[in-house]
Amino acid sequence: MINRLIENIKKTQAPIVAGLDPMLSYIPGYIKQKAYEEYGETLSGAAEAIWQFNKGIIDAVYELIPAVKPQIAMYEQFGVPGVAAFKQTVDYCKEKGLVVIGDAKRGDIGSTSAAYAAGHIGKVEVGSESYYPFNEDFITVNPYLGSDGINPFISVCEQEKKGIFVLVKTSNPSSGEFQDKPVEGRPLYEYVAEKVNEWGSTLMGNGYSYVGAVVGATYPEMGKCLRKIMPKAYILVPGYGAQGGKGSDLAGFFNEDGLGAIINSSRGIIAAYKQEKYGKFGEEGYADASRQAVLDMKEDINNALNG
């Protein structure tokens, strides 16, 4: 799947992932109204609004980008109907040829991590049948529990040719509270990065590993350093746009082959119509505003990489 991600990136010339993290406040009123008329102001109504909103955006941008990253928390918050909308979104994105990165940040001990791995990127057996319950292509994972929390994901990656992105240095302001603590002469995140390199060493696609890393755009100097520690890891970079990361911060996340990083924008793409810059699109044109935001982001990043 890392190979397909790279193919998609080359084809679109856009190392961009659209974060499908819908909040109800991002969704145009007319979409919510229609959903509530059909399902009431219920969890199912919210889930329907999210799905219709996503579908509009996916239809407008799928040819321009290689991948999407739905944040499962934004669906899970609406209970079982929300989780169903997550699944519907994953399926539709895959139909459209997009690589789907499930942003779930799961991580637990052995058999429990194995259950998350099976449910999200692998398959489960029920009697004599087997199913791919959520069927994402990649999933983000939390390393705090150590190797025996990560290894079950790696086994599934190997079987299914899928991938993971391990949290190394997150984009949020307080990420340093634990991640930056000095451990044996270097920050903890560097130590985690060394582990990522080790975990991924036997799981190689063409030039890059099935085991990637999450490093926030908001920490460009650390990104440059982590790029060198994990030369074969694809880096998923959140924090561009709304969180403050700029195109000019991103060059250090990439390798000399122009590959090795994929930049996420969520609000900046899916709620673009709410920005003054894209105000002319209006609510009804929210999906076209998202499309324009993708084109602008692509230009910003490519200028930074070629500049």
Residues 158-197 that bind a copy of itself (CB under 8 A): 167, 170-179, 181-184, 188, 191-192, 195
Contact with a copy of itself (CB under 8 A): which of 11, 124, 283, 284? 124
Can you name the residues that pair with 182 across neighbouring β-strands? 187
Minimal distance in Å, beta carbon 222 to a copy of itself? 15
Best CA proximity match to 243, nearest among 268, 262, 263: 268
**Is 134 near a copy of itself (CB under 8 A)?**
yes
CA separation for the pair 132, 8 (Å, rounded): 23
Specify the residue, 46 or 58, whose C-beta has the smaller distance to a copy of itself: 46
Specify the residue, 128 or 306, whose C-beta has the smaller distance to a copy of itself: 128
**Is 76 near a copy of itself (CB under 8 A)?**
yes
Helix (H, G, I), strand (E, B) or coil at 24: helix
Minimal distance in Å, beta carbon 286 to a copy of itself? 19
Can you name the residues that pair with 212 across neighbouring β-strands? 165
Distance (Å) of CA 92 to CA 49, 51, 70, 100: 15, 10, 12, 10
Specify the residue, 22 or 285, whose C-beta has the smaller distance to a copy of itself: 22
**Is 244 near a copy of itself (CB under 8 A)?**
no
CA separation for the pair 85, 91 (Å, rounded): 10
**Rg value, the chain, Cα:** 19
**Is 106 near a copy of itself (CB under 8 A)?**
yes
CA separation for the pair 226, 168 (Å, rounded): 9
Please check whether residue 118 is in contact with residue 156, taking contact to mean a CB–CB distance below 8 angstroms. yes
Specify the residue, 184 or 221, whose C-beta has the smaller distance to a copy of itself: 184
**Is 74 near a copy of itself (CB under 8 A)?**
yes
Catalytic residues: 105
Query: Which range touches a copy of itself (CB under 8 A), out of 58-66, 81-89, 154-162, 290-298?
Result: 81-89
Amino acid present at 263: I
Distance (Å) of CA 31 to CA 40, 41, 284: 13, 13, 9
**Is 265 near a copy of itself (CB under 8 A)?**
no
Query: Which range touches a copy of itself (CB under 8 A), out of 55-63, 93-101, 115-123, 198-206?
Result: 115-123
Distance (Å) of CA 183 to CA 28, 180, 190: 47, 9, 9
Specify the residue, 242 or 259, whose C-beta has the smaller distance to a copy of itself: 242
**Is 45 near a copy of itself (CB under 8 A)?**
yes
Residue 129 is encoded by which pair of tokens? 């049948």
Query: Which range touches a copy of itself (CB under 8 A), out of 9-17, 51-59, 108-116, 287-295?
Result: 108-116
Interface size with a copy of itself, residues (CB under 8 A): 72
Please check whether residue 99 is in contact with residue 107, taking contact to mean a CB–CB distance below 8 angstroms. no
**Is 34 near a copy of itself (CB under 8 A)?**
no
Contact with a copy of itself (CB under 8 A): which of 13, 91, 97, 133? 133
